[in-house]
Amino acid sequence: MKERVKAMMEKVGLLPNQINRYPHEFSGGQCQRIGIARALIVEPKLIICDEPVSALDVSIQAQVINLLIRLQRELGLALIFIAHDLSVVKHISDRVMVLYLGRVMEIASSDELYAAPQHPYTQALLSAVPVPDPAHDMAGSVVPLAGDLPSPLAPPSGCVFRTRCPRATERCAAEAPVLLGADHQTACHFPGPLTEAEIAFARRTEAA
Partner 1 sequence: MTRPLLDVRDLRVTFHIRREGDLPWTPPRELHAVGGVDFSLAPGETLGVVGESGCGKSTLARALIGLVPAEGQAEWIDGKDLIGLSPRQMMKYRNDIQMVFQDPLASLNPRMTVGQIIAEPLTTHHPGLKRAR
Considering the complex, state which of residue 94 and residue 138 has its C-beta at the smaller distance from partner 1. 94
Q: Report if residue 173 touches partner 1, rule: CB under 8 A.
A: no
| Residue 181 binds to partner 1 (criterion: CB under 8 A) | no
Residue 175 near partner 1 by CB under 8 A: no
- Return the residue of 24, 59, 130, 207 that touches partner 1, per CB under 8 A: 24
Burial of 68 (0-12, 13-18, 19+ CB in 10 A): buried
Q: Does 107 bind partner 1 (CB under 8 A)?
A: yes
Per CB under 8 A, the segment of 27-35, 130-138, 165-173, 195-203 that binds partner 1 is 27-35
By the rule CB under 8 A, 188 interacts with partner 1? no
Is 89 among the residues that bind partner 1 (CB under 8 A)? yes
Q: Of 101, 116, 131, 174, which one interacts with partner 1 (CB under 8 A)?
A: 101
| Residue with Cβ nearer partner 1 (17 or 135) | 17
What pairing do the DSSP bridges indicate for beta strands 95-100 and 103-109? Answer: antiparallel
CA distances from 166 to 7, 9, 59, 127 (A): 54, 50, 37, 14
Q: By CB under 8 A, tell whether 80 contacts partner 1.
A: yes
Q: Is the dihedral of CA 68, 69, 74, 78 positive or negative?
A: positive
Whole-number minimum distance, CB 144 to partner 1, in Å? 14
Binding mask 42-61 for partner 1 (x = CB under 8 A): x-xxxxxxxxx-xxx-----
Is 186 an interacting residue with respect to partner 1 (CB under 8 A)? no
Query: Which long-range CB contacts under 8 A does 27-31 form with residues at least 24 apart?
Result: 27/60, 28/55, 28/56, 28/57, 28/60, 29/56, 29/57, 29/60, 29/63, 29/64
- Smallest gap from Cβ 157 to partner 1, in A, equals 13
Q: Which of residues 117-156 bind partner 1 (CB under 8 A)?
A: 125, 149, 152-153, 155
User: Which parts of 18-109 fold into alpha helices (H)?
Assistant: 28-40, 58-75, 86-92
Q: Under the criterion CB under 8 A, does residue 78 sit at the interface with partner 1?
A: yes
Quick check: 56 and 32 in contact, CB under 8 A? yes
Residue 191's region, left for phi above 0, alpha for psi from -120 to 50, else beta, is beta
